[in-house]
Structure 1
Amino acid sequence: MSEVISEITFFKDKKSEEKTPLYQSKLSSYSPNVSYHYNPRVSEYHYGVKHPMKPFRLMLTDHLVIGYKLYEKMDLYTPKPASKDELLEFHSNDYIEFLERVTPDNSNKFAQQLKDFNIGDDCPVFDGLYDYSRLYSGASLDATEKLIQGNSDIAINWSGGLHHAKKFEPSGFCYVNDIVLSILNLLRYHPRVLYIDIDLHHGDGVQEAFYNSDRVMSVSFHKYNGLFFPGTGNLDESGVGRGKNYSLNIPLNDGIDDESYIRLFKSIMEPLITSFKPTAIVQQCGADSLGHDRLGCFNLNIKAHGECVNFIKSFGLPLLVLGGGGYTPRNVSRLWCYETSIMTDVNLDSKLPESLPFRNYFNPDCSLHPNLGDKLDNKNTKKYLENVKAKCLEQIRFLNGAPSVQMNEIPPDFKKLTPEEEAEINELNNDGNNEDRIMRDIKDEARNGELVE
């Protein structure tokens, strides 16, 4: 009787399969210490039923990260909320006190302040507004501290990245600018910080905060036509005073695809990093630049967006990774989970975990990588992109290498501008009709069932 020998020497039972990670570690010469900063309370807030900003996208992201067992590859922190004093490092006292006091129930007592502080459909007053702002800002500051202390090489806060908020007012769904607060903190220990923004919308709040500084290089890839929110971000916005040429804008048209975006991104970022020589990098990974976003107009797929993040990671510099825009929650969570896997050097199974809560939310494909690149025609011609690239490279050449820094000047008094610099920034903000600079009317854009989508 011949003996039948099975080629399988180990059979997994149900419990073993449940404990097996849905990832494979990569072989990489750079294996950074990664930290993940998330307070579950931040996903509990609600801008309003018809509002496109949905904080519950952060809960979906966290479920995916847990479902793929990526927590095994990171240090996990539940950060505390930012203190009022920490918010005042950038924002004005009267504005922060307004956020602290106003509620939906007493807002009628703040009629003049609502007008003064730009409160409206884009930036409504909702329950817990101040606490929400403190939570996402506190997570960014906590992540920054881990980088400064050397406990982390890469620190992730997907609840942060709210890049539109200004010193005196909210803007574009953003109330407190956690990015500016984080950069200010980094500047206490780092001579030069590079800020990279790949959100669909121009990172105007960050650019404005450091518009006259040569210690922060602000780079933004975004949709621009002069009317699309926030209406800023043209090629000629390059900084003032000592900050001249330290703001770099890459304006794009509708429908840009994966290949065009990646090629342009790498061709600009590599010489810029070589010239500016940052000692720390902050990357805002807004997901509204993906295709099929509710407010979007690009054709990027998740892997293409992630490749830009992977490219910046490859330089091996201390890296703060933040969220930002993104108004189709299921795709936002897919993207940020995938980019978490990039930071932690693992490959993920494209099929979402069977045990994932809300898995039916990702129907019909239940895939990490749905096709998002087939919605719009690409209006970025090869000639247009080459022209943008040439102008950006010309500006980079004007940098003349990294500026020297006297560390006893840290942090810089970036708030003091000359009258000429103030006039230039005011002209930038007031150029055009503000009524034409709104995103899409969120009431018209609202769909039935948006709350549960």
Structure 2
Amino acid sequence: MNNKKPCYIWDEKLIEECDRLPAVTGRATMIHNLIEAYDILKHVTVVKSSLATYNDLKEFHSELYLDHLKKFTDVQDDYMTTAEDEECGIGYDCPPVSNMYGLVSTIAGGSITAARCLILGITDVAINWCGGWHHAHRFGAEGFCYINDIVIAIEKLRRKFPKILYIDLDAHHGNGVQDAYNLSKSVFTLSFHKFEPGFYPGTGSIDDIGTQGGMGYSCNFPLHAGYGDNTLVYAFERVFSSVYTQFIPDAIVVQCGADACGQDPSGGANLTHKSYSKCIRQVLDKRKPTLLLGGGGYRHDNTARLWTSLTALVAGVNLDELIPDHSHWLEYGPDYTLPLDATLVKDMNKSSYIEECIEKINVSTELFSTQKLPSNIVYTGFLCVVQPSNQSIVE
């Protein structure tokens, strides 16, 4: 990378709206305050977030879904979801909230702003910890995610960067993003996640490699419970290098979900900041325009620790292990230190299993060079359209 400062997306409204998300209430403020307490902001370019427009959101989501979200203006505690709500994914894991359209416009706007920083060449690395909602689908919410800001940001990036590599480090498979690009060969999706019976969302097996024209352009590394730093770093080093060499992206997007950290109530993994940092460092070493996004992370103090550490890594700042005194300081007890510690949970991933996965993935990546597209199919990201044979392919 050159000497451009990384861009850090921030706005009071963005933080306030992200704080309202039911699954991570108050988390955004805690993260930003820790980054601010460490005085990292003077080493980055702070960029004010802007709202996403209706047309921005339509680049992925259906008008039917977006228009339904506009109906939630003032949601009372006794609100009963309707059949139409449930068709749009509003209910159990994505409960309705007031001014829902404003919420999704604000959150998506943060990731769009970050993408624009890369498109305009203001920076080589843009960060939006309020983004990373990878489960939302075109027609509805899912898995705590009301909007798929990732896909919308990728669509913006594709206007300048034809080939995008998407990497997902969340404990849960990024099904919404993969599904959006399942037919595409311009966006490669690479996910490292926990894959166990009954673990949400139940997708992302080793054999899930995309379909039709996108076959070979999705890669999933399904990990067993308790995977730790050594397992992830070993797997990442071998798979990322192979995928990068075969695909040669123009830009990279990384979802840095923190729920794979040890002690997270929803993750079931056992990572620390060390493995995340090593993975991100490998990505940055490729010197490609890079977008870093948040995602899961349901133990808020550890999520703040991780994303503050990654912000410092990108900014080239060394941080003191002792957390500075600030408004959330008491929530970092009992040790009040920044580094994350692994737990004593056993890593259920045997080396033979990891090697087997790497071998299978290496075979699937060979599809890049051997794949031949049917001459009468148009691949446009979200749609597959069969045309008469005398029409050309548009990608």
Same fold by TM (over 0.5)?
A: yes
Q: What is the identity, as a one-letter code, of the residue corresponding to 1:394? A: V
Q: What is the identity, as a one-letter code, of the residue corresponding to 1:58? A: A
Work out the percentage of aligned pairs sharing the same amino acid: 33
**Deviation of residue 285 (structure 1)?**
0.2
1:315 corresponds, among 264, 272, 286, to 286
Counterpart residue number, 2:234: 263
TM-score by length of 2: 0.91
- Deviations 1:10-43, CA, capped at 9 Å, x for gaps: xxxxxxxxxxxxxxxxxxx854430000222334
Q: What is the identity, as a one-letter code, of the residue corresponding to 1:360? A: L
Mapped to 2, the partners of 1:184 and 1:47 lie a distance apart of 26
- 8 A contact 1:277–1:402 mirrored in 2: no
- 8 A contact 1:275–1:401 mirrored in 2: no
Q: Residue 347 of structure 1: SS of its match in structure 2?
A: coil
- 8 A contact 2:170–2:192 mirrored in 1: yes
Q: Which moved more, 1:243-252 or 1:267-276?
A: 267-276
- 8 A contact 1:302–1:369 mirrored in 2: yes
Mapped to 2, the partners of 1:345 and 1:230 lie a distance apart of 36
Counterpart residue number, 2:348: 379
Gaps (5+ residues) in structure 2? 387-395
Q: What is the identity, as a one-letter code, of the residue corresponding to 1:37? A: I
- 8 A contact 1:39–1:135 mirrored in 2: no
1:61 corresponds, among 21, 31, 50, to 31
Counterpart residue number, 1:210: 181
Q: Residue 208 of structure 1: SS of its match in structure 2?
A: helix
In structure 2, do the counterparts of structure 1 residues 402 and 145 end up closer, same or farther at CA, with 3 Å as the change threshold?
A: farther
Mapped to 1, the partners of 2:87 and 2:141 lie a distance apart of 11
Counterpart residue number, 2:248: 277
Q: What is the identity, as a one-letter code, of the residue corresponding to 2:209? A: S
In structure 2, do the counterparts of structure 1 residues 299 and 110 end up closer, same or farther at CA, with 3 Å as the change threshold?
A: closer
Mapped to 2, the partners of 1:397 and 1:60 lie a distance apart of 44
CA radius of gyration, larger in = 1
Q: What is the identity, as a one-letter code, of the residue corresponding to 1:290? A: C
Q: How does 1:60-79 map to 2 (within 5 A)?
A: 60-79=30-49
Mapped to 2, the partners of 1:182 and 1:401 lie a distance apart of 30
Counterpart residue number, 1:422: none
- State whether structure 2 residue 67 is matched by structure 1 residue 97: yes
Q: Residue 303 of structure 1: SS of its match in structure 2?
A: helix
Mapped to 2, the partners of 1:393 and 1:321 lie a distance apart of 26
In structure 2, do the counterparts of structure 1 residues 393 and 146 end up closer, same or farther at CA, with 3 Å as the change threshold?
A: same
Q: Tell me how many residue pairs correspond in the alignment.
A: 380
Gaps (5+ residues) in structure 1? 1-28, 405-410, 420-453
Counterpart residue number, 1:364: 334
In structure 2, do the counterparts of structure 1 residues 363 and 109 end up closer, same or farther at CA, with 3 Å as the change threshold?
A: closer
Q: How does 1:413-432 map to 2 (within 5 A)?
A: 413-417=380-384
**Deviation of residue 401 (structure 1)?**
9.1
Counterpart residue number, 2:50: 80
Counterpart residue number, 2:393: none
- State whether structure 2 residue 363 is matched by structure 1 residue 391: no
Q: CA RMSD in A?
A: 2.2
1:42 corresponds, among 8, 14, 29, to 14
- 8 A contact 2:184–2:380 mirrored in 1: no
- State whether structure 2 residue 82 is matched by structure 1 residue 135: no
TM-score by length of 1: 0.80
Mapped to 2, the partners of 1:73 and 1:185 lie a distance apart of 26
**Deviation of residue 368 (structure 1)?**
0.6
